[in-house]
Structure 1
Amino acid sequence: MKVVYQTCCGVDVHKSFLVATIIKTSSGVQPSYQKKRFSTFNHSILQFKEWLLENDCHDVCMESTGKYWVPVFNLLEDEMNVTIANPKWVKAIKGNKDDTKDSKWIGDLFRLGLVPGSYVRGRA
């Protein structure tokens, strides 16, 4: 499979925290992973944004589960390419539903161009 994003991040957002995995592909298709957990308070989301920028990561993908993704999206969208994925697309393949694996799984699918973005109202 062709790698669409050399560096990207998969994010699993919950009510009080988010888990993010930065995926970097340096040579070939074999990626390296960095995982971190942040709270969903604004100051922590801004720390998350800074972590992404420090790692030269400008492409982010997260599920549109509930309404918890909205503040994360709002704080990232000015400097990042944020793709909101329909949960049906990222959960379609069995065997990977697990809170510790979700951000990695979302990122892996996104990295290979397998996640179509959802429409976000009010976004140009």
Structure 2
Amino acid sequence: MTMRKTGGHPDLNVVNPNAAAIDIGSTMHMAAVNPDTDVMPVRAFGTFTQDLHNLADWFRSCGVTSVAMESTGGYWIPAFEILEAHGFEVILVNARRAKNVPGRKTDVSDAGWLRQLHSYGLLRGSFRPEAEIATLRA
């Protein structure tokens, strides 16, 4: 696999060019994809089931393979499960860790910033048990 140098960060290599990210909210999710794949790389989606399937379809049309999401509450669970069912690799990121990464530009949305960090391989997912075990716990 060839790694690309980034334009704005010459010391960082893009290790996951097909990365996407979601800033999870209670009534709206902000999602971001690689700007090279869509004219509107940051979009808002609702939180209903059909909205989440539309989000998955958009990710698929943009060539996304891996999704990082940030949430401080339980609103991430439906999005996580639907995206995982659509075959995406999904990681849940600790919001506090993502916010503390130095170098953030104030004009970049949270979803765009998460996508950028995820594309560089700088995010680590929180522990999430396998689907069967998660179902038993619920």
Q: 2:63: which partner in 1?
A: 56
Consecutive unaligned residues of structure 2, counting only runs of 5 or more, are 1-11, 133-138
Of 57-66 and 43-52, deviating more is: 57-66
Q: Which residue of 2 aligns with 1:114?
A: 122
The alpha carbon displacement at 1:56 in A equals 1.1
TM-score (norm 1): 0.84
Alpha-carbon distance in 1 for matches of 2:23, 2:120: 18
Deviation at 1:37, TM superposition (A): 0.6
> Is residue 73 of structure 2 the alignment partner of residue 66 of structure 1?
yes
What's the TM-score, normalizing by structure 2?
0.76
Q: Which runs of 4+ in 1 moved over 4 A?
A: 94-98
Deviation at 1:96, TM superposition (A): 4.7
Residue-by-residue CA offset, 1:16-55 (whole Å, 9 max, x unaligned): 11000101569xxxxx871111000000000000001111
Cα deviations across residues 40-99 of structure 1 (Å, max 9, x unaligned)? 00000000000011111111001131101100001011210001111122111368597x
Partner residue in 2 for 1:11? 22
- State the Cα RMSD in Å: 2.5
- Structure 2 CA distance for aligned equivalents of residues 84 and 109 of structure 1: 13
**CA distance in structure 2 between the aligned counterparts of 1:50 and 1:18, rounded to whole angstroms:** 15
Identity of aligned residues (%): 27
Structure 1 unaligned runs (5+)? 27-31
Which structure has the larger Rg over C-alpha atoms? 2
Question: Relative contact order (alpha carbons < 8 A, sep ≥ 6): 1 or 2 greater?
Answer: 1
Residue 29 (structure 1) aligns with? none
In structure 1, how many angstroms separate the alpha carbons of the residues matched to 2:47 and 2:104? 24
Q: Distance in 2 between matches of 1:73 and 1:41?
A: 13
The structure richer in strand per residue is 1
Q: Give the distance between the partners of 2:119 and 2:56, measured in 1 at CA.
A: 19
Aligned length: 119
